[in-house]
Structure 1
Amino acid sequence: MPTETFEFQVEARQLLRLMIHSVYSNKDVFLRELVSNASDALDKLRLAVLRGDTPGAENSDPHIEIEADSDARTLTVRDNGIGMSYDEVGRLIGTIANSGTAELLRELRDAEDASGAEGLIGQFGVGFYSGFMVADRMTLVTRRAGEEQGTRWSSDGEGTYTLESVDDAPQGTSVTLHLKPADPDNQLHDYTSPWKIREIVKRYSDFITWPIRMPAQPGEDGSTPEPETLNSMKALWARSREEVSDDEYHELYKHISHDWRPPLETVRFQAEGTFEYQALLFLPEHAPHDLFTQGYQRGLQLYVKRVLIMDDCEALLPPYLRFVKGVVDAQDLSLNVSREILQQDRHIRMIQRRLTKKVLSALKDMKTADAERFAGLWREFGAVLKEGLITDTENRDAILAVATFASTRADDEPTTLEQYVERMKDGQDDIFYLTGESRQSIENSPHMEAFRARGLEVLLLTDPVDEVWADAVGEFGGKRLRSVAKGEFDPGADDGGETGKEREKRDEEYADLLGWMKEQLADEVKDVRLSSRLTVSPACVVSDAHDLTPALESMYRAMGQEVPPAKRILELNPDHVLVKQLNAAYKEREDHTGLVDTAELLHGLAVLAEGGRPKEPGRFVKLVADRLERAL
């Protein structure tokens, strides 16, 4: 097949230029990225051989080799791992961050500093191109295990790259960097120097489980010594805590997660007894950009006696802890265990239960010891952790113990449910909350008026999952969780509300209007009643105590579950001048046809006030325009 030349997409060219010239503050990390990619290729080959997916693959001496040529100014990183086919090279190497390039560029430009930009690079998985920081040209030669034809990719990182088939490529991948001219004033960055290569590998890749070799210099007698192995290859989780530095843990985390920033917390765990295993887990500092996407790759690396058998074992932690990265090394599992077997394995279920409790315990300890660090973690992952309140009833109390929520309390600090209960007013039996798209929209909601006026604290819940977990949990500490947008609110006379006689008199005064409006709006509402929750707004819509809210209805439909739309209840504020005038007009007129528009307007305004949309927006706009015209 002849050599083909392809153009980088415009965004890819911009990304390369931005990355090469302004992103990386430490150029040494390019070698870490290439070694990490080589290690992944060897892991994939071992897994493929275990599954029997690569007949004819060579797997007798898996290793990584780094070779420097100071005369030619080249540095080559090669492995004999899984390799790539021609199509895979075009798809994985020929393009950058396939679907995320535009988003990556936008976030890079918004990054406040170089370290923030580096974190984004790691998240979007384009570390291969970091080689262009030190090279004018990069050449990649690869052959997929079990195939006969190889592929060569080459680019100078500017506008184009080339692809061609080759016949003499060994199994695996070889990346050659044609280094930029040497800087005689800065020998610290001479990447053809053996001591520099040793330093980088020791700092960033010592834990890699495959041997990283460098050819030894010929002896004076012309003999060729054995290659030098640069890394210890000793698993960090198998070493004592005293033997491992924080920096080493951090580098392992970066290797596993492809995140450029260190983890927020490292959690070690060792189980002994009838079933032995070790776990080394990491809590990230920042959420990855695709955490809530369907294709997010979750799971821990699963080893059996130091042999990696699964790169993303989802069975080791529940989905709501999918942001946790790390490794588990078990002693008594089969090397050819499958995902299907793991889902049924009682040992794996036991590991999941214990690791889950260990992670939640670490979160509780962090919250107690360093509230500021925990607050940062909760901002990043709170919405994910709250999924566990729905799916993991066994650990629900542990999640609720660390969960924090915004509320209307005066100091504007997040609160736990326990703290909320301690501050509750005498006689208050419910924990009040309101859900919405943002804190501002919730605070401006008419549903909040009476609670604000009476000094009742309300939790402000802005994550989509809040609608579901609050309904599923139901109560905390013997106090019911209650949405201020559902059911009737009766403050009682002792708390500034009406007495029974006052309420009776008021209901009688508005009874005819309420009955008429219920008939006129029958297609939209199930009832019209007077409100005790409004102090400023003329009207609001609420859900019945046991009905689904509109947000929940939309969520279930988005998940493919058909639910019948529930009619809402329209509440009117009897103290508002508009409602008073409407009631007076209804009593004075025998023909109420002219009041229908006002009834529709009141309902439409109530729907808009909670962030909804009138059923017929065009008609609503016309009604408002006509009313404005008459007013002028």
Structure 2
Amino acid sequence: MTTETIEFQAEARQLLRLMIHSIYSNKDVFLRELISNASDALDKVRLAAYQDKDLGADTSDLHIELVPDTEARTLTVRDNGIGMSRDEVVDLIGTIAKSGTAELLAKLKEAGDAENAQELIGQFGVGFYSSFMVADRVELTTRKAGTGEGVHWSSDGEGSYTIEPVADAPQGTAVTLHLKASDADDQMHDYADRGVLRRIVKTYSDFITWPVRMPAEASADEAADADDAADADEAAGEPETLNSMKALWARSQKDVSDEEYAEFYRHVSHDWQEPLETIRLAAEGTFEYQALLFLPQIAPMDLYMRDARRGVQLYVRRVFIMDDCEALVPEYLRFVKGVVDAADLSLNVSREILQQDRQISAIRRRLVKKVLSTIGTLRDEQPEKYTAFWEQFGRALKEGLLSDPDNRETILGVSSFRSTHDSGNGAATSLAAYKERMHDGQDAIYYMTGDSPAAIEASPHMEAFRDKGYEVLLLTDPIDEVWVDAVEGFDGTAFRSIAKGQVDLQTEEEKEQAEERRSEFAGLCEWMAGVLGEDVKEVRLSSRLTTSAAVLVGDEFDMTPTLEKMYRAMGQEPPKVQRILELNPSHPLVTGLRDAQASGASDELGETAELLHGMALLAEGGELADPSRFVGLLAGRLQRTL
């Protein structure tokens, strides 16, 4: 048999080095990760045997076994699950085939402390590597169910591993840890000690639905009389089952502790933290199912990556069917983790069938409503939790305003937005609270999109709204640029951009004065429209300016400058949009330009019109068509003032 020596992938090597140097404050979790992996392997072999009757897999006594050896200083974690082929061992253990690994390692180096590093590692589900926290060398022997040859893998975690075929490997996977020297004063972490193993399993893995067994310990006399290992096992008697094997979602809520929920969340999410919120749901009648869902505390690094995995685990009558069942959770709730156990689905159901299944659609609708109502309850009853949730997942949740019109009003109701109300402290507001503060006669929820709250608040568009005390939503997430055009309003009140269309904040007296000024400036507006040509759609007087000379606005359905930038960043050139130039009739620059133009236009006045337009374009975050000409005109004008 040929033994190969293979180098670890560079990222895997770096990660192993971090593990070996003990970035975790609690090393007990290595056993939780190995048991969790074994449990997944058992789930998969049972499902594979259902789907392929000719697989030849032995599913008569599926279980996990812990075998400590105090003399040899080893611990073996063994399962008789699906097992792995040679290529799968190389792909799953020799490399970290997860997007964003380079970013993970960079953040790990920045973290600097064990707690932060632990949180980052957990987001990438690399639990097998935690074995090297407690072991000098790790060996793995595995045989994939339905195949005839096994594989043996071994490494000290430094730079390479060996791999070779094994003829007589049993079905499943056995991981043997050659434990590091134990501290005589730290018996709580002697992982060859049976009492320590019992404690860890009870703490972290009691809910695993497969039996976690440990061979009974033979007495010294019985062990001495045994002729071989088989006799020793027989002398030891019945194995001890260490876990209760009770599915948490099937137990009464009052019988499950917060600690058990937290450990189950870690099991299904591969996160290292406690969940932010736990959600239980059960339905009886036409469609019977139980669900146990969780809202995480921290967004995973791949939340906005195109190939990120999403969905919850699907079981049918306690039988595992699939991880990441996307049909049960819409994409905008992709951060939700947990389990759904349905009573009436087929055990052979596929992902394609699930997309069309009427029961799955009904369960999905209930899950979505329950998650959204839970978020709303957090906002009303636990504002600190809600704030933490919104900071992490609000941007993703708002995607549902586009993709889920049936729940659009509910999503708006549980959303928060920065606004000019108490903007100094960075607080966000609900739309319901905004409506309570609306002025008498105000018929719209005012908003503006932009790169940042500071940039929006500094915009000339804000001047009249600030002057008259109207609250404006400050929308800065990229998704905000899209949903505001698709959503008509909230609770019967329309959304209206302060950067588009006409603004009507004037009193009747102010409107009369504006009408008089319109005739006074008609000549200037017509002349400037001719000078600027195709750069503008129209030149008119503004009712939204109090201090700035001019501002560019769009028609009601025009694309915003920020959205134009987004298209260009994606490599797409947006269609050219002609904006409307509004002039402030009270500004000295505008009145002076009017008087000069009335007495006879000149080339220099044309340059002034260009400069005025360029300044308005820059103020709204737009891009100059000819920056060098603008700079030349500005420099010449400044030079003549000296």
2:448 aligned partner? 434
1:499-534 superposed Cα distances (whole Å, 9 cap, x missing partner) = 32x323323333333223323433333222222222
- Could you tell me the TM-score, scaled by structure 2's length? 0.90
1:386 deviates by: 1.9
1:254 aligned partner? 266
For residue 614 of structure 2, the aligned residue among 587, 604, 613 is 604
Mapping for residues 145-544 of structure 1, pairs under 5 Å? 145-218=145-218, 220-221=221-222, 222=226, 223-410=235-422, 412=425, 413-493=427-507, 498-500=510-512, 502-544=513-555
What is the DSSP-based 3-state SS (H/G/I as helix, E as strand, rest coil) of the residue aligned with 1:77? Answer: strand
1:359 deviates by: 1.6
Mapping for residues 586-601 of structure 1, pairs under 5 Å? 586-592=597-603, 594-601=604-611
What is the DSSP-based 3-state SS (H/G/I as helix, E as strand, rest coil) of the residue aligned with 1:523? Answer: helix
* CA–CA separation in structure 2 for the residues paired with 1:258 and 1:12: 18
Is there any run of 5+ residues in structure 1 with no aligned partner, and where? none
Q: How many residues align?
A: 627
1:618 deviates by: 4.7
What is the DSSP-based 3-state SS (H/G/I as helix, E as strand, rest coil) of the residue aligned with 1:115? Answer: helix
The 1:623–1:426 alpha-carbon spacing in structure 2 relative to 1, beyond 3 Å, is: same
1:563 deviates by: 6.5
Amino acid at match of 1:367: R
Whether the 8 Å contact between 2:43 and 2:319 is mirrored in structure 1 is no
1:378 deviates by: 1.5
What is the DSSP-based 3-state SS (H/G/I as helix, E as strand, rest coil) of the residue aligned with 1:5? Answer: strand
Mapping for residues 62-141 of structure 1, pairs under 5 Å? 62-96=62-96, 98-111=98-111, 114-141=114-141
Whether the 8 Å contact between 1:97 and 1:126 is mirrored in structure 2 is no
- Computed over aligned residues only, the root mean square deviation of the Cα atoms, in angstroms, reads 2.7
Amino acid at match of 1:463: D
Amino acid at match of 2:4: T
* CA–CA separation in structure 2 for the residues paired with 1:360 and 1:382: 12
Whether the 8 Å contact between 1:83 and 1:142 is mirrored in structure 2 is yes
1:361 deviates by: 2.0
Greater CA drift, 42-51 or 204-213: 42-51
* CA–CA separation in structure 2 for the residues paired with 1:272 and 1:158: 54
1:20 deviates by: 4.0
What is the DSSP-based 3-state SS (H/G/I as helix, E as strand, rest coil) of the residue aligned with 1:522? Answer: helix
* CA–CA separation in structure 2 for the residues paired with 1:509 and 1:352: 62
For residue 624 of structure 2, the aligned residue among 610, 614, 620 is 614
1:159-217 superposed Cα distances (whole Å, 9 cap, x missing partner) = 33344444444433322222111211111110001111111111111111222222222
Whether the 8 Å contact between 1:405 and 1:459 is mirrored in structure 2 is yes
1:322 deviates by: 1.7
What is the DSSP-based 3-state SS (H/G/I as helix, E as strand, rest coil) of the residue aligned with 1:38? Answer: helix
Whether the 8 Å contact between 2:38 and 2:78 is mirrored in structure 1 is yes
* CA–CA separation in structure 1 for the residues paired with 2:115 and 2:588: 58
The 1:24–1:518 alpha-carbon spacing in structure 2 relative to 1, beyond 3 Å, is: same
1:255 deviates by: 0.5
Amino acid at match of 1:215: P
Amino acid at match of 1:515: E
What is the DSSP-based 3-state SS (H/G/I as helix, E as strand, rest coil) of the residue aligned with 1:103? Answer: helix
* CA–CA separation in structure 2 for the residues paired with 1:585 and 1:93: 78
* CA–CA separation in structure 2 for the residues paired with 1:35 and 1:572: 70
* CA–CA separation in structure 1 for the residues paired with 2:572 and 2:631: 32
1:589 deviates by: 4.1
The 1:134–1:351 alpha-carbon spacing in structure 2 relative to 1, beyond 3 Å, is: same
The 1:125–1:193 alpha-carbon spacing in structure 2 relative to 1, beyond 3 Å, is: same
What is the DSSP-based 3-state SS (H/G/I as helix, E as strand, rest coil) of the residue aligned with 2:38? Answer: helix
* CA–CA separation in structure 2 for the residues paired with 1:66 and 1:541: 71
* CA–CA separation in structure 2 for the residues paired with 1:299 and 1:237: 17
Amino acid at match of 1:525: V
The 1:101–1:621 alpha-carbon spacing in structure 2 relative to 1, beyond 3 Å, is: farther
What is the DSSP-based 3-state SS (H/G/I as helix, E as strand, rest coil) of the residue aligned with 2:446? Answer: strand
The 1:621–1:51 alpha-carbon spacing in structure 2 relative to 1, beyond 3 Å, is: farther
Amino acid at match of 1:190: D
Are positions 1:570 and 2:581 aligned together? yes
1:40 aligned partner? 40
What is the DSSP-based 3-state SS (H/G/I as helix, E as strand, rest coil) of the residue aligned with 2:389? Answer: helix
Whether the 8 Å contact between 1:487 and 1:543 is mirrored in structure 2 is yes
* CA–CA separation in structure 2 for the residues paired with 1:418 and 1:339: 39
Is there any run of 5+ residues in structure 2 with no aligned partner, and where? 227-234
1:303 deviates by: 0.9
The 1:87–1:574 alpha-carbon spacing in structure 2 relative to 1, beyond 3 Å, is: farther
Whether the 8 Å contact between 1:97 and 1:124 is mirrored in structure 2 is no
What is the DSSP-based 3-state SS (H/G/I as helix, E as strand, rest coil) of the residue aligned with 2:422? Answer: coil
* CA–CA separation in structure 2 for the residues paired with 1:171 and 1:190: 29
1:250-306 superposed Cα distances (whole Å, 9 cap, x missing partner) = 111110011111111111111112321111111111211111211121111111110
The 1:2–1:264 alpha-carbon spacing in structure 2 relative to 1, beyond 3 Å, is: same
Greater CA drift, 363-372 or 447-456: 363-372
Whether the 8 Å contact between 1:48 and 1:54 is mirrored in structure 2 is no
Whether the 8 Å contact between 2:216 and 2:238 is mirrored in structure 1 is yes
Sequence identity percentage = 62
Whether the 8 Å contact between 1:586 and 1:595 is mirrored in structure 2 is yes
* CA–CA separation in structure 2 for the residues paired with 1:20 and 1:582: 74
- Could you tell me the TM-score, scaled by structure 1's length? 0.92
Amino acid at match of 2:538: D
1:357-383 superposed Cα distances (whole Å, 9 cap, x missing partner) = 222222222222211111211221112
1:6 aligned partner? 7
Amino acid at match of 2:443: D
Whether the 8 Å contact between 1:97 and 1:125 is mirrored in structure 2 is no
1:87-120 superposed Cα distances (whole Å, 9 cap, x missing partner) = 3333322234644233113333444753332221
Whether the 8 Å contact between 2:314 and 2:320 is mirrored in structure 1 is yes
Whether the 8 Å contact between 2:44 and 2:320 is mirrored in structure 1 is no
1:248 deviates by: 0.8
1:236-258 superposed Cα distances (whole Å, 9 cap, x missing partner) = 11111222111111111110011
* CA–CA separation in structure 2 for the residues paired with 1:15 and 1:622: 55
